[in-house]
C-alpha cells in the first residue's frame, strides 16, 4: 500500500519551482492560482531569495502549489492514503478531493496571512532538537515555557516559543539532546501564539465547497483517519494552534499496512523521518521533475 505525503513549512528553498514550470500546463496553472490569490507564485518560486520565501504568507501558498503541481505530474494514480505535515495537510486535502485546487490555494493564502499576522505580535520561532528521549525532552520544554509543536517521530521534536525561551533552550538543552537547530519559519506555529489565526480561518472556511475524502485521509491532530470533508476542514482550522503529531500519523501508516511512501515536492523531510521510523517501507522524495519516473515506478508497484 502506498501513502502520498506533503511536506510543511521550512522545506522550501530558493528557486525550487524553476524546473516545474517547464512541464506542460504548469506555468498556466501557476499563473491562474497567482491571479486568484493575489500572489505571484512563479516569481517567488523561481526568483525569491531565502528571506522572501521564509515569509509565512509567501511560503505556505508556494508549498501547496508545488505539492499540487508535482502530484498531478505523477499522472492518474490512487494511493491508499494521503497525509501532509502542517500546511501540507491542505495539499493532502486537495489531493483527496476534499477541496478543489483553487479553494486549497485560497485557503492557504488566508492561512499564511493570518499566521503571519499572529506571528508579528511577539517575536517567536521554532527549533528542532537533535537527539534525546521525547519523554525527557517534553517536560524540560514545559519547564522553559516552550511547546513541543511538532512531534515528528524517530526521536525528533520541534520546540516553539518566544526568542527568549528558545535562547534559554540553547543554553540549557534537555539531557541527551546534541544540538538545537533553528528552523526557517517566522513564528511559533502550532502553539497558543497562533490562536488569533484560528478565528480568521474559521471565517474563511465557511465559504468553501467541500466533499468527503475519496482517499483515506490521515490527520495531524491525532493520526486518526477522517471520513468527512467537514471534519477535515474543522481539523485544518484548529491545527494551526495545536501540535502536529506526525509520529502518530506514521503509527497509523503502520496500522494501514503502508509499504511505500512518496513525498511530493519539495520532498525530503518526511522521507527522512520515514526511513528512521518505518523500517522496510520504500520511500521516494520528489524534488524535481527528474524524480517523476522513479516515483511513477514506485506508485505502479505499490498502489
Mean pLDDT of the chain, nearest integer: 95
What is the reported pLDDT for 235? 97
Contact present, 158 and 148 (Cβ < 8 Å): yes
Q: Are residues 115 and 145 in the same domain?
A: no
CB proximity list for 94: less than 8 A, separation 6 or greater: 64, 68, 100, 101, 103, 104
Rounded to an integer, the average pLDDT of 228-234 is 97
pLDDT class of 184 with cuts at 50, 70, 90: confident
Specify the pLDDT at position 21.
96
The beta-strand segments (E) located in 117-267 are: 124-131, 147-153, 156-162, 177-182, 216-218, 225-226, 244-245, 260-263
Instruction: Please write the tens of the pLDDT for every residue from 113-122.
Output: 999 999 999 9
Query: Is 140 among the catalytic positions?
Result: no
**Residues 25 and 134 both lie in one domain:** no
pLDDT per residue as tens digits for the range 185-205 = 889 999 999 999 999 999 999
CB 113 within 8 A of CB 60: no
Look up residue 211 and give its three cell numbers. Answer: 466533499
Instruction: Indicate the SS3 state at residue 145.
Output: coil
CA-wise closest residue to 85 among 246, 237, 239: 246
Kindly report the CATH number assigned to the domain that includes residue 11.
3.40.366.10
- pTM flag (> 0.75): yes
CATH number for the domain harbouring residue 152: 3.30.70.250
Which residue among 182, 205, 229 closes a domain? 182
Residues 106 and 195 in one domain: yes
Catalytic residue (choose from 140, 190, 193, 219)? 190
Task: Say if residue 137 is in the same domain as residue 280.
Answer: no
Q: What is the 3-class SS of 57-68, one letter each residue?
A: HHHHHHHHHHHH
Report the percentage of the chain scoring pLDDT > 90: 92
Which is more confidently placed, 131 or 73? 73
Catalytic residue among 34, 70, 85, 86: 86
**pLDDT value for 155:** 80
Q: What pLDDT was estimated at residue 107? A: 97
Is residue 86 among the annotated active site residues? yes
- Do 85 and 201 belong together in one domain? yes
Same domain, 152 and 208: no
**Residues 33 and 102 placed together within one structural domain of the fold:** yes
Q: Which domain holds residue 57?
A: 2-120+191-302
223/284 same-domain check? yes
Amino acid at each position: 500500500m502506498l501513502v502520498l505525503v506533503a511536506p510543511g513549512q521550512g522545506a522550501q528553498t530558493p528557486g525550487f519551482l524553476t524546473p516545474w514550470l517547464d512541464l506542460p500546463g504548469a506555468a498556466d496553472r501557476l499563473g491562474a492560482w497567482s491571479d486568484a490569490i493575489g500572489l505571484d507564485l512563479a516569481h517567488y518560486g523561481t526568483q525569491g531569495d531565502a528571506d522572501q520565501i521564509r515569509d509565512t504568507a509567501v511560503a505556505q501558498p508556494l508549498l501547496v502549489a508545488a505539492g499540487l503541481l508535482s502530484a498531478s505530474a505523477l499522472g492518474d494514480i490512487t494511493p491508499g492514503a494521503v497525509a501532509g505535515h502542517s500546511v501540507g495537510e491542505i495539499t493532502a486535502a486537495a489531493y483527496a478531493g476534499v477541496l478543489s485546487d483553487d479553494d486549497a490555494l485560497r485557503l492557504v493564502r488566508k492561512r499564511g496571512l493570518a499566521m503571519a499576522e499572529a506571528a508579528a505580535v511577539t517575536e517567536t520561532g521554532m527549533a528542532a532538537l537533535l537527539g534525546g528521549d521525547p519523554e525527557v525532552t517534553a517536560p524540560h520544554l514545559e519547564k522553559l515555557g516552550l511547546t513541543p509543536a511538532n512531534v515528528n517521530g524517530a526521536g525528533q521534536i520541534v520546540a516553539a516559543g518566544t526568542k527568549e525561551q528558545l535562547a534559554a533552550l540553547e543554553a540549557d538543552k534537555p539531557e541527551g539532546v546534541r544540538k538545537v537547530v533553528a528552523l526557517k519559519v517566522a513564528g511559533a506555529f502550532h502553539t497558543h501564539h497562533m490562536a488569533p489565526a484560528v478565528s480568521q480561518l474559521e471565517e474563511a472556511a465557511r465559504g468553501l465547497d467541500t466533499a468527503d475524502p475519496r482517499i483515506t485521509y490521515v490527520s495531524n491532530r491525532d493520526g486518526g483517519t477522517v471520513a468527512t470533508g467537514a471534519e477535515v476542514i474543522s481539523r485544518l482550522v484548529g491545527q494551526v494552534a495545536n501540535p502536529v503529531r506526525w509520529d502518530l500519523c506514521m503509527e497509523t501508516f503502520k496500522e494501514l499496512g503502508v509499504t511505500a511512501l512518496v513525498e511530493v515536492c519539495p520532498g525530503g523531510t518526511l522521507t527522512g523521518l520515514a526511513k528512521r521510523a518505518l523500517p522496510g517501507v520504500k520511500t521516494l522524495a520528489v524534488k524535481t521533475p527528474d524524480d517523476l519516473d522513479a516515483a511513477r515506478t514506485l506508485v505502479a508497484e505499490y498502489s
